[in-house]
Amino acid sequence: MQYLTKANLNLYNSPELNSLATQAAIGRFIQLLTATPPYQVCLCEDDYPGWLAAEDLQYLAAAETSYQAPVWSAAEIQQRMGEVIEFTKAAMLTPNQYLWGGTVAPNYDCSGLMQAAFASVGVRIPRDAYQQEKFVQHIAIASLIPGDLVFFGTPLKATHVGLYLGNNKYVHSSGKDQGRNGIGIDELSAEGDRVSRTYYAQLRGGGRVVASYQPGQK
């Protein structure tokens, strides 16, 4: 059975509930996988797992209908890129700090900001940076256009993501260990400031969102 969230909820990465995995904004569809607390759950829009505290069960309401994933063409998604970009800029102007697992305003992690920005226009993408990298159409850095995603990390895995704005700039939520604590705009350049240089050294590539995530999609 599926439920709708009546409040912004924290989901944790273990039954000990001591580390945030992600958040579920009001109106998200959620499925309970266990009958006793702490509850193992799965978010329906992105198949993301987590654990819900017993006291938060009161904020779930039975869904009258199951989640129906939206279907958008690549062209329809591109038409909404301006709104996606504006979402990230508005989020940057609101006082914020980096929050590991954050997907709800005002505090986001890198992939949480991307997921929330696309969700604001009805487009669903996976939760984590490495999942987002696998989901998108890969684009060469030289061919990036505003609204594309830019991925950073190790040679083995994407660990960070930002939204390309054009003119070699991208917006992202960055942690203190990389030189900032929140949302900012940086350069895809080895000649920029310290934050830009730090991330540029970890650059993996770019990608374009050309579809909305469908549950069960790998």
Burial class (CB in 10 A: 0-12, 13-18, 19+), 27: exposed
Distance set, CA 56 to CA 6, 107, 202 (Å): 10, 20, 38
Closest to 128 in 3D by CA, of 159, 92, 105: 159
How many alpha carbons fall within 13 Å on the CB side of residue 60? 21
CA–centroid distance for 53 within its chain: 22
- Which is the catalytic residue, given 42, 44, 138, 160? 160
Q: What distance in Å separates the CA atoms of residue 173 and residue 193, rounded to the nearest whole number?
A: 16
Tell the residue number behind the tokens 């350049």, with chain if given. Answer: 189
Q: In terms of DSSP H, where are the helices of the chain?
A: 74-79, 81-93, 110-119, 129-135, 194-200
d(CA 148, CA 136): 9
Count the neighbouring beta carbons within 10 Å of the beta carbon of residue 25.
Answer: 14
110 counts as catalytic: yes
> Among residues 42, 44, 138, 172, which one is catalytic?
172
Residues with active-site annotation: 110, 160, 172
